[in-house]
């Protein structure tokens, strides 16, 4: 039986300030939420926290929660610095970091604003993943690649987790190959359950062919949720934007309604092969975020534990 776990994720910063954010984090910590996730975005008009500094702050604030980035756009970042940052956060959190990597959307504002060529982002990401893995596992790294060159590079301390997770995002053919070659897990993007299922099967086949099968518990998905109605403030706009951006049916992606509706959406993804979830509250403001999160903790998490009980041992993501 797969071990289903529910975390919460943010892209934009919906709080009035730091105090509201930390109240929300404390609620998640005490309420049994599995993990917290921050989207990677460097350029934006809306307030969005920088992801890796957020991970460091969460490491200091919490004692139980795991946390991760969904997902780090490696083509925008130096892989040596990322490897060092991740290792440091993993050490200081005593092994609670869940790094996830991808190439970033070609529609993201960073490419144009920073004048970066999007045509090389896939190859840069593949090479960066290789560099990061070497730095995490080898004492001295020599690397002569197309985009990065290292001579006797090393980082210390190494991550606490000897097999620090390396989750990969994306559902293209290249992303599937990337996951099979480098990944310890896969994180879905805007795919509905119907679209997720064949990707999971293809990754399993590709990983097996590469001689490195991925644990069946290491497939994840993100779901926007709202206790309320589709015409609540911001919900209809978010669903319309999703449909326009992805071409997918928002009714098959969003969990909007009561606890039963949210659980039904989770169950559809579980049936498609997903067991790790990042639920994103469709909420704005301190009170709304806290209210939505409390209802998730009180009404959804106990039912998830009942339907998909975890084994006695292991709290790993």
- The span from the CA of 64 to the CA of 317, in Å, is 12
Residue 9 scores a pLDDT above 90: yes
DSSP assignments along 213-237, one per residue: PPPTT-EEEEEEEEES-TTSTTHHH
Residue 150 scores a pLDDT above 90: yes
Flag whether 312 is in a domain: no
Flag whether 200 is in a domain: yes
Percent of all residues in the chain with a pLDDT value above 70, rounded to a whole number: 97
Flag whether 66 is in a domain: yes
Token representation of residue 197 = 């299922």
**What is residue 201's predicted lDDT score, i.e. its pLDDT?**
96
Helix locations, 158-192, DSSP H: 173-182
Flag whether 317 is in a domain: no
CATH of the domain at 253: 3.20.20.30
The pLDDT confidence band at residue 230, using thresholds 50, 70 and 90, is confident
Residue with tokens 């070497």: 134
The pLDDT confidence band at residue 162, using thresholds 50, 70 and 90, is confident
Residue 314 scores a pLDDT above 60: no
Reference 53, options 81, 94, 95, 23; nearest CA is: 81
Residue 3 scores a pLDDT above 60: yes
Flag whether 90 is in a domain: yes
Flag whether 314 is in a domain: no
Flag whether 162 is in a domain: yes
Strand 185-187 vs strand 149-153: parallel, antiparallel, or unpaired?
unpaired
CA angle 300–305–309, rounded 5-degree value: 155
- The span from the CA of 265 to the CA of 254, in Å, is 8
CA angle 50–74–277, rounded 5-degree value: 70
- Total tally of structural domains belonging to the chain: 1
Backbone angles phi, psi at 67, to 5 degrees: -155, 150
Predicted TM-score of the model (pTM): 0.93
- The span from the CA of 287 to the CA of 275, in Å, is 29
CA 178 to chain CA centroid, Å, is 16
Flag whether 127 is in a domain: yes
309 DSSP assignment: P
208 Cβ contact partners less than 8 Å away, ≥ 6 residues apart: none
Q: Which strand (E) or helix (H) includes residue 73?
A: strand 72-73
Q: Are the C-beta atoms of residues 253 and 272 closer than 8 Å to each other?
A: no
Of 8-22, 55-69, 104-118, 264-278, the range with the lowest mean pLDDT is: 104-118
Q: What is the mean pLDDT of residues 274-298?
A: 97
CA angle 98–191–193, rounded 5-degree value: 100
Q: What is the mean pLDDT of residues 156-174?
A: 89
Residue 105 burial by CB count (10 A; 0-12/13-18/19+): exposed, middle or buried? middle
Q: Is 30 helix (H, G, I), strand (E, B) or coil?
A: helix
Q: Which domain holds residue 222?
A: 5-307
**What is residue 213's predicted lDDT score, i.e. its pLDDT?**
86
251 DSSP assignment: G
């Amino acid at each position: 039986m797969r071990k289903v776990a529910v975390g919460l994720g943010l892209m934009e910063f919906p709080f009035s300030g730091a105090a509201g954010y930390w109240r929300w984090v404390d609620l998640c910590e005490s309420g049994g939420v599995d993990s917290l996730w921050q989207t990677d975005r460097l350029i934006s008009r809306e307030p969005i926290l920088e992801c890796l500094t957020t991970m460091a702050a969460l490491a200091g604030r919490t004692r139980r929660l795991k946390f991760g980035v969904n997902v780090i756009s490696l083509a925008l970042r130096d892989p040596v610095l990322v490897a060092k940052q991740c290792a440091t956060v993993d050490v200081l959190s005593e092994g609670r970091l869940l790094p996830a990597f991808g190439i970033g959307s070609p529609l993201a504002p960073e490419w144009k604003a920073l004048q970066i060529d999007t045509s090389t982002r896939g190859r840069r990401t593949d090479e960066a993943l290789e560099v990061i893995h070497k730095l995490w596992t080898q004492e001295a790294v020599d690397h002569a690649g197309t985009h990065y060159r290292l001579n006797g590079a090393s980082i210390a301390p190494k991550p606490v987790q000897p097999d620090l997770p390396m989750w990969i995002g994306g559902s293209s053919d290249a992303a599937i190959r990337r996951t099979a070659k480098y990944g310890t897990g896969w994180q879905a993007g805007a795919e509905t359950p119907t679209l997720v299922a064949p990707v999971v099967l293809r990754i399993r086949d590709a990983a097996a062919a590469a001689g490195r099968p991925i644990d069946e518990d290491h497939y994840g998905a993100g779901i926007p949720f709202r206790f309320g109605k589709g015409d609540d403030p911001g919900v209809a706009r978010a669903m319309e934007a999703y449909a326009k951006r992805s071409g997918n049916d928002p009714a098959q992606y969003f969990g909007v309604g009561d606890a039963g509706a949210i659980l039904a959406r989770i169950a559809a993804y579980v049936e498609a092969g997903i067991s790790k979830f990042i639920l994103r509250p469709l909420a704005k403001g301190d009170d709304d975020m806290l209210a939505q999160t409390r209802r998730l903790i009180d009404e959804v998490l106990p039912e998830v534990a009942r339907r998909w009980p975890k084994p006695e041992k292991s709290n790993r993501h």
